[in-house]
Structure 1
Amino acid sequence: MKKAVMAISGIVMVLYLIAHMIGNLKVYTGRDSFNHYSEWIRTIGAPALPPQTALTIIRIALIVAVVAHFWAAVSLWRQAKRARPQGYVTKKAVAQSYASRTMRWGGVIVLLFIVYHILDLTTGTVNPEGAGSTPYDRLVASFSNPFITAFYVISLLLLGMHLRHGIWSATQTLGQSNRRRERTVNAFALVFSVILTAGFLIVPFSVLFGLVD
């Protein structure tokens, strides 16, 4: 049950990440277009729905998914720790990939990154341009700082590793993989996580190197 919760909540977050990445690439269409897109997100469903109704629903769904994912991860970790005798090491544990061994702490770092990301680019609370600036100006101001960009890059690389292992684990949990399919699933997980990570990384690098200003 807990593994299913983790897999399904992970899928919800991955779908959001895909949409978010595509939206980020709107920055290459210019300041006005990007700001218009950011405003459109807040008015989806208007005038039938009040402003930000659809966005609020999406945010609630994401919060539920994040909380469920985190709860399942902690519960499974505690369950595994109780079942494993102290000091017991198996060949399988030794052979685990770097991404697998760092899933727990990588997930915590990604969670902290999400909080900072919201305060930086969504609310503008910690952004150099402040809360009253436009989304485009906040994005440029943030990624023009090499230290902030470095933090984003590290966090996104950890997210990529988390995704690669998570996609593989989800297929195992949902019964969509077997020994014959493992190579295909592993290849897909790697390619997908690399493309998604690169899609997010290209924007801060473009700002940092002056391709977007």
Structure 2
Amino acid sequence: MATPTLIKGGRSTRSTIALKLLMAVTGLVFIGYVLLHMYGNLKVFAGQDAFDTYAHHLRTFGEPMLPHKGLLWIIRVVLLLSIIGHAYAAFTLWARANSARTSKYVVKKAVAATLSSKMMRWGGVALLLFVVFHLLHLTTHTINVNGDPESPYDRVVSSFQPEQWWVAAIYLLAMVALAMHLRHGVWSACQTLGLTNNARSRMRANSVAVFVAVLVAGGFALVPLSILFGIVD
């Protein structure tokens, strides 16, 4: 009777490891994307021509081998699949953690968790809702907070004017959630990938996690803040 139990436990452990690997790999996809996206957003400081040219090239990149907007659709498909995989792994692991909550070890571990890890799950949900808002705002133009200018630069700048301070507030709050998600996510990915085997590697992983979180969230936040305070107009 013991053998099936051991096999079942082994399968459960392998399944958990696989889910954590799925979260780590899809998380790395997101990090690569947000770094590139942040770089593109910072083009706003180079002026309207530079920003609009960048936005145009995203749609024509790879032509004629790729169709118009071909690169954007490839990125969108990869991101959509990554989101599905990431969310599935997260909620499956979340459900398993809740079912094991009676264990003293799990309770002690939960008490010792950092603020970012406690907010990880609900922060992820908040970020998902923000992504929907962001797409409706600046991709499909379903949400028009200050008209619908043809120029991508004008569309961004007009959205974060002081009269639309609430839009900037939504984006800045989302960046706080993103920073916390990235800090804990990068750390967890390093653990899953076996990069935290000793005190030095754990310290290094934590430093990388904090650096990535501050770099990405701070870089994104610069745009609405600079527009809101009149540095970019």
Shorter chain as denominator, the TM-score bin is over 0.9
Mapped partners of 1:8, 1:129: distance in 2:
38
1:136 aligns with 2:156: no
Alpha-carbon shift at residue 175 of structure 1 (Å): 1.2
Q: Which residue of 2 aligns with 1:194?
A: 214
Task: Give the TM-score, by structure 1 length.
Answer: 0.95
1:168 aligns with 2:187: yes
Q: Compare 15-24 and 136-145 and name the one that shifted more.
A: 136-145
Q: Which residue of 1 aligns with 2:7?
A: none
- The RMSD of aligned alpha carbons is 1.6
Conserved 8 A contact 2:117-2:184:
yes
1:140-190 CA distance string (max 9 Å, x none): 121112111011101111100000000000011111221321111111111
Mapped partners of 1:43, 1:85: distance in 2:
55
Q: Which residue of 1 aligns with 2:11?
A: none
Mapped partners of 1:50, 1:90: distance in 2:
53
Mapped partners of 2:80, 2:91: distance in 1:
16
Aligned with 1:4 (options 5, 9, 21): 21
Q: From the two aligned structures, give the one with the greater helix fraction.
A: 2
The alpha-carbon distance between structure 1 residues 60 and 37, as it changes in their structure 2 partners (threshold 3 A), is same
The alpha-carbon distance between structure 1 residues 125 and 131, as it changes in their structure 2 partners (threshold 3 A), is farther
Taking only the aligned residue pairs, the percentage that are identical comes to 46
Task: Give 5+ residue unaligned stretches, structure 1.
Answer: none
- 3-state DSSP class of the match of 2:214? helix
Mapped partners of 2:168, 2:82: distance in 1:
27
1:81-138 CA distance string (max 9 Å, x none): 1222289863321121110001010000000001101111112210224456221111
- 3-state DSSP class of the match of 1:185? helix
Amino acid at match of 1:199: G
Conserved 8 A contact 2:196-2:202:
yes
Q: Which residue of 2 aligns with 1:211?
A: 231
Conserved 8 A contact 2:59-2:69:
yes
Q: Which residue of 2 aligns with 1:85?
A: 102
Larger Rg, first or second structure (1 or 2)? 2
Conserved 8 A contact 1:125-1:131:
no
The alpha-carbon distance between structure 1 residues 54 and 153, as it changes in their structure 2 partners (threshold 3 A), is same
Mapped partners of 2:104, 2:205: distance in 1:
32
Q: Compare 121-130 and 20-29 and name the one that shifted more.
A: 121-130
The alpha-carbon distance between structure 1 residues 200 and 52, as it changes in their structure 2 partners (threshold 3 A), is same
Number of equivalences:
213
